[in-house]
Amino acid sequence: MKFPRFIFAALLSFALVPTCFAQATDEEQQARLAEIKQRIETLQQELNQVKSDRDQLLRDLETNEKDISELLQRIDKIKSDMQSRGEKLQELKQEEKQLEESRRSMQRRVEQEVAAAYRLGRQEQVKLLLNQQDPQHIARQLRYYDYFLQQRSRVIDDYVSTLDQLSTVSTGIERERNTLARERDQLEDKRRALVSAQNKRQRTLDKLAKQLASKGGELDQLHSDRSRLQRLVDEVGRAIATLINPSDQTPFAKQRGRMQWPTKGRRANAFGQRRANGITWTGVTLRANEGNPVRAIHRGRVVFSDYLRGQGMLIILDHGDGYMSLYGQNQSLTHAVGEWVERGDTIAKVGNTGGASQSGLYFEIRRNGKPQDPTAWCRG
């Protein structure tokens, strides 16, 4: 497993926030950060050791699943861009339609003005001046004539402006169409790469299944996964122990029994239930469709957001007072370490990483590192 180095960078940013969120002096903070960095680097070296063929397969699985997660995120981004461009294209087409209607109407006006000018001839003002009518009448007629010329000029200017706008919109439509075509090609390339990565993942899973099928390999792997998760939780818990949450945050404990489940799905197991291999569940697996949103159950700060062997794409939120919520087996993660999320914010998408055979979310709540029964906290 690749224990992320950026967790130290995040912890560094935590320690450098304003004094209302810190307890120690600068020198004490630097000393504590140096200690945290050393602990994490040591743990990283231990967890990254390849001790057997099975460990190598697990590392291959991690690479496969992280590649798939990245591809799915890129595909989502391209789809989102294509949707935005499609909407923009429809807006431009509607604008083009309106401008074309204006152009036809203005063209008729221009034709009328040209015909009127032709009938009046080019010597209108001279004729009026040579006319032996009353001077006041002549002055009034000249003002009418000037107004007529100004109106004619505005009609022609508006027509030319509409033609320019129509040309600009037509160019924009063509540009959007070309961009959409390129994005469709990119999307198809990513989909082909995704199929290849998924096939590679399946081959790795097949090899791993053969390894686990003998000599109690599955039980050993479950113990190893549980130990790895516990060490991560303990290490993160110790590292952030001195950080202070905002004073206006609702205490996690006061929301007991009031919080929503992080995703809609059928509970595949009960907390504390014994598994076929004798290990008990420390969390709940929610069977849900791949790609469904995973939402934060309470306001918190992201303290881990990366791949963890056995848990797949994992995100952990710190809610203060020793409480954490853990969301594993995700397809992809949407927030980075150090970011704050509000209750109900989407923090991940349901997946089947970590070698899971079915899509779903693995969910835990912990206090001071010890698992809590999620059904006591989440309703429904």
Q: What does the CA dihedral 339, 344, 347, 351 come to, rounded to 10 degrees?
A: 170
What pLDDT was estimated at residue 19? 40
What pLDDT was estimated at residue 327? 97
Q: What is the DSSP string of 175-198?
A: HHHHHHHHHHHHHHHHHHHHHHHH
Q: Is the dihedral of CA 268, 270, 271, 272 positive or negative?
A: negative
> Of 240, 345, 333, 222, whose CA–CA distance to 277 is shortest?
222
Do 25-214 and 247-380 fold alike per CATH? no
Altogether, the residues listed in the chain come to a count of 380
What pLDDT was estimated at residue 177? 79
Fold of 25-214: Helix Hairpins (1.10.287)
Paired residues of 210 in beta bridges: none
Q: What is the DSSP string of 2-14?
A: ---THHHHHHHHH
Residues contacting 378, CB < 8 A, separation 6+:
259, 260, 261, 262, 297
> Of 86, 93, 91, 92, whose CA–CA distance to 183 is shortest?
86
What is the reported pTM?
0.59
Q: Domain map of the chain by residue range?
A: 25-214, 247-380
Burial state string for 100-125 with b = 16 or more CB within 10 A and e = fewer than 16: eebeeebeeebeebeeeeeeeeeeee
CATH C-level class of 247-380? mainly beta
Structure tokens at 135: 């001077």
What pLDDT was estimated at residue 38? 60
> Of 297, 271, 296, whose CA–CA distance to 284 is shortest?
271
Burial state string for 193-219 with b = 16 or more CB within 10 A and e = fewer than 16: bbeebeebbeebbebbeebbeeeeebe
What pLDDT was estimated at residue 17? 44
Residues contacting 245, CB < 8 A, separation 6+:
301, 318, 319, 320, 321
What pLDDT was estimated at residue 75? 80
Structure tokens at 264: 């809609």
pLDDT mean by block of 10 residues, the chain; 380 residues: 44 43 52 55 55 65 79 79 77 76 71 63 50 53 57 68 75 78 78 77 74 62 81 83 72 94 94 81 94 95 88 92 94 89 95 89 94 92
Query: What's the rounded Cα separation, in Å, for the pair 367 and 377?
Result: 12
Q: How many CA atoms lie within 13 A of 72 on its CB side?
A: 23
Structure tokens at 174: 């063509």
Pairing of the two strands 346-350 and 293-295: antiparallel
